[in-house]
Structure formats: structure tokens, C-alpha cells
Amino acid sequence: MQILLVVLIVLHVLTGVFWAGSTFVLARTGGANAERLAFPQFGAAIATMLMGIAVWALALRTVPPIPALHVLGAGAICAVLAAVVQALALPTVRQLRAHNPDEIAPRRRIAIHQRIAGVLLMITVVGMALWGHI
Ligand code: HEM
């Protein structure tokens, strides 16, 4: 059980780093390469959330609702919101993949979604990193 938990936490952190990192890159570059990054990014988002839920179920489900857990929970809620915001831009990414002649408007739209998700994921990372020390 302990080994499973360690593996899940490692995979959770690795996929979370790719999710948050690619979000910051797409936000900062105005959506450059979104057609290559957005779908793997969304896959990483799903994997991060599923493994986070599994870690919580295995290790923290029975812990009483102490304030530190609220910090972790707030981080998790921000992560879910970030995934929703990014999912809403996936049809626009599909348009870009279809070699739409007008690239500027869809790329700007994608960048706005990534910036909003970036702020939410910043809160997530801070919550995940700090909750155990509160
Ligand atoms: C729905 C989304 C998420 C859920 C439910 C979730 C859940 C969890 C849980 C339960 C832990 C505690 C592990 C433990 O100490 O026993 C954890 C740790 C962690 N999570 Fe998440 N997480 C989510 C999203 C993210 C995202 C997006 C990142 C982005 C980088 C992330 C990064 C981390 C890190 C770095 C830790 C290790 C913190 C530490 O113990 O020092 N998580 N997560």
C-alpha cells in the first residue's frame, strides 16, 4: 500500500508539473504551439486529477477536516476549474489544427484561457506545496 502511494504521488507530481508548466508556457507565448501542446496538456490534467483523488482516498480520507486540508482542497478546486477553462478552448485548438487561415483570433482566445488557467494553477501549486506545513 505504501509503495502504491509513493508511486501515485510521484506520478501525480510529474503529470502536475507538465500540466502547470505547459500552461505557463502557452500563456506566456500567446498560445504558440497550442495545436501540439493543448491535448497532451489536457491528458496530463485528467491524469493529475485522477491520481490526486486516488492519493486522497488512500492517505487522507479519514483525516479530520483540519484547516490544512482546506488549503489542499482549495488547491484541488482551483485545479478542477483550470481544467474546465482549458477544456472550453479545445474546440478552438481543433480549428487551429485544421489549418484555419485566420490563426490570430483563435490563438489569442487560447492564450486567454491559458492565462486564466495559469493563475488558477499557481494557486493550486502553492496550496499543494504548503498544506503539509500549515
Ligand atoms: C484535482 C486536482 C488535485 C487533487 C485532488 C490533488 C490531491 C493531492 C493530494 C491528496 C496530495 C497529498 C499527498 C500527501 O501529502 O499525502 C497532493 C500532493 C501534491 N500535489 Fe496535488 N492534487 C491535485 C492537483 C495538483 C496539481 C495541478 C499539481 C500541480 C503541480 C499538484 C501538485 C502536487 C504536489 C507537488 C504535491 C506534493 C506536496 C507535498 O506533499 O509536499 N497537484 N495532491
* Model pLDDT for residues 51-93, shown as the tens digit of each residue: 999 999 999 999 998 999 999 999 999 999 999 999 999 999 9
**Residue 56 CB contacts under 8 Å (≥ 6 apart), including other chains:** 76
- Under the banding of pLDDT at 50, 70 and 90, the label for residue 125 is very high
**Exposed, middle or buried: residue 81 (CB in 10 Å: 0-12, 13-18, 19+)?**
middle
Q: Residues lining ligand 1, judged by CB closer than 6 Å?
A: 9, 12-13, 16-17, 19-20, 48-49, 52-53, 55-56, 59-60, 72, 76, 79-80, 121, 124-125, 128-129, 132
- For residues 20 and 121, the answer to whether their CB atoms sit within 8 Å is yes
Domain ranges within the chain, ordered by starting residue = 2-133
pLDDT at 102: 86
Of 114, 131, 121, nearest to 49 by C-alpha is 121
Write down the pTM of the prediction: 0.94
C-alpha pair distances (Å), 19 with each of 24, 54, 73: 9, 18, 18
